[in-house]
Amino acid sequence: MGNVAVVAGLGLIGGSMAKALKTYGGYRVYSWNRTQSVAEKALAEGAIEGVADEEMLSQCDLLLPALYPQATVAFLQNVIPRMKAGAQVVDLAGVKGFVVEAVTPVARRFGVRYTGGHPMAGLEKGGYERSAPDLFQGASMILVPTAATEVGDLMELGALFRKIGFGKIKFCTPQTHDRMIAYTSQLPHVISNSYVKSPVAGGLEGFAGGSCRDMSRTACLNETIWTELFLLNRKHLLPEIDQLLSAVSELRAALEEGDAAGLERLLRRGREDKERMEAPLSERPGA
């Protein structure tokens, strides 16, 4: 068939991936989606070539599930045994340890190449209606090699994802992915969700500026998928929450005690940590 991709799950990420692969990747793109009406809409808009049936799933060259983690595992454990040997699978779930551990043995058994993936892109709200072929422009794509990743796959996949717009390709283990994502993605959602629960949050007109908007933005989440992501990654998320609570408690104690010197020291340390976070690698101490 040649250059045929199937995207499973046409939400924001899956819909954008389908459109990007078709627009920039040179693929004939088909979709599999639980809600038939969404797939039909994508077909009517020309975002995909067609709706994937069993034969298409078994013969495609590239399969990208953009589903919830547990649904990803169930889907791939069902589909991989019917795929052609040598086909490529890249899952796009937001946790990697759970998915990689469950999917890799199946992929190896049936000769399917499998690499974990996580596109670091998104919008405040999801859904196919917000998907766009340019969603990934300049974003980072994380690739997680597995025991079912073959020699050359990472180079091939890196080239593909750059072609469809990603500005950086990051390679790491499932453990590193989940540890870093707990801090860079999941903890901000915890903070934002907690921040908007203040009793004054309902009367902000005329008082809210950029800092309020930044802090509250990710509170507008899909609670179903984020519950799943939090629970599957609680090994790494819980220590990050504990560290946050410790830092807030320090600041609160200094404030309660009227300790101006201590409060200034804590605020300075936060500013300096932020500056180090943003400094180019070459400018960091010990680099």
pLDDT at 287: 43
- The pair of structure tokens assigned to 235 is 């090994």
CATH number given to 177-256: 1.10.3660.10
| Alpha-carbon span 221 to 244, nearest angstrom | 21
pLDDT at 280: 67
pLDDT at 284: 54
pLDDT at 202: 82
| Alpha-carbon span 39 to 11, nearest angstrom | 10
pLDDT at 37: 87
pLDDT digits (tens, 9 = 90+) for 170-213: 999 999 999 999 999 999 999 999 999 999 888 888 888 889 99
Q: Class for domain 4-172, per CATH?
A: alpha beta
> Whose CA is closest to 13, among 135, 116, 115?
135
Q: Where are the domains of the chain?
A: 4-172, 177-256
Query: What is the spatial order of strands in the sheet that 113-120 belongs to?
Result: 50-51, 28-32, 4-8, 62-65, 88-91, 113-120, 140-145, 168-171
Q: For residue 70, give the amino acid letter.
A: Q
Regions in the chain scoring below 70 on pLDDT: 1-2, 280-287
DSSP bridge partners of 32: 8
